[in-house]
Structures are given as C-alpha cells and as structure tokens.
Amino acid sequence: MEVRVQVEPFDFGVEAAAFAEGHTKMGAVVTFTGIVRDVADGLDRMEIEHYPGMTEKALEAQAHAAVGRFKLGDVLVIHRHGTMRPGEMIMMVATAAPHRTDAFQGAEFLMDYLKSRAPFWKKEYTADGAEWVAAKDEDEDALSRW
C-alpha cells in the first residue's frame, strides 16, 4: 500500500506497470486517473491546495478501509497539489485484488471518499478571474452507497 502527495507530475504508465508487476496472487488490477478538465469559458490553470499532514492521514485511512472491505492485495494513491494546466493528470488510484469485482469496487470506494473526505481544494483560473470549485451534492451522496 502506498500513498503519495506531491507537486511533481507522475508517469501514469510507469506507475501502473510497476503496480501491476509481481502480484502473482492478484488476478485483477484496476486504475483510475483524474485529469484537469477545461471549463466552458476556458481554463488557464487549476491550483490545488491541501492540508499537509491531514491529507496523508486521510488517504492512508481510506486506503486501509478499502483494503479491509474489498480484500485488496494492494493499493496505490497518488494525488498532486500546486498548479496544473488542462490535460494534466491530477491524481491516480490503483487497486489489486484476486478478482475484478473487488478491484473495481475498491477503486470506486476510494474515489468516492477521496472526492469529499480528503482535504484538497481546487481553484480554477479563467480569463474572467479565479473561483474555488464548489463541492457537489452528488459527490456527497455517492458516499451513502458504501
């Protein structure tokens, strides 16, 4: 299990390949990658602020919970902070499990928790100015299914 919070970009292919390697008892690996999405009026950049210390604790707790609940053999979470442009990768999760259902569900569970329970805040910069991204009700509602 590994959790990384970093400013630097990461190489999704390298990370996914390294994660998948050597798991002889894991028949399934699922990965998810979040990418900075352009907005209607043109996004110049996104800045992500976080709460050093709490962020790592929250992500590790969520990864542990996912491992216990879905019988995962391994979990990787990478989440960036700082300044990112449209098209850049913000974060990724990878889950490994003996069977695919657990790997898929573990990744979804992690993403749902990470969206609204890990202390990150996004601010979008467009030609019109800067605005904090508001949390969505649907993200909060998504937690109720777990």
Partner 1 sequence: MEVLYFAWVRERIGLPRETVETQAATVADLVEELKAREERYNAAFTDLSALRVALDQELADFDARLEGVREVAFFPPMTGG
Interface residues for partner 1 in 65-84 (CB under 8 A)? Answer: 79
The verdict on 7 binding partner 1 (CB under 8 A) reads no
How many residues bind partner 1 (CB under 8 A)? The answer is 25
The verdict on 37 binding partner 1 (CB under 8 A) reads no
Stretch that binds partner 1, among 8-16, 37-45, 47-55, 94-102 (CB under 8 A): 47-55
Distance CA 9, CA 26 (A): 28
The verdict on 135 binding partner 1 (CB under 8 A) reads yes
Quote the strand ranges of the chain, DSSP E: 2-6, 28-35, 43-50, 74-80, 82-84, 89-97, 120-126, 129-132
Min dist. Cβ of residue 134 to partner 1 (A): 8
Q: Are 37 and 85 in contact (CB under 8 A)?
A: no
Residue 94 has which token pair? 């990878």
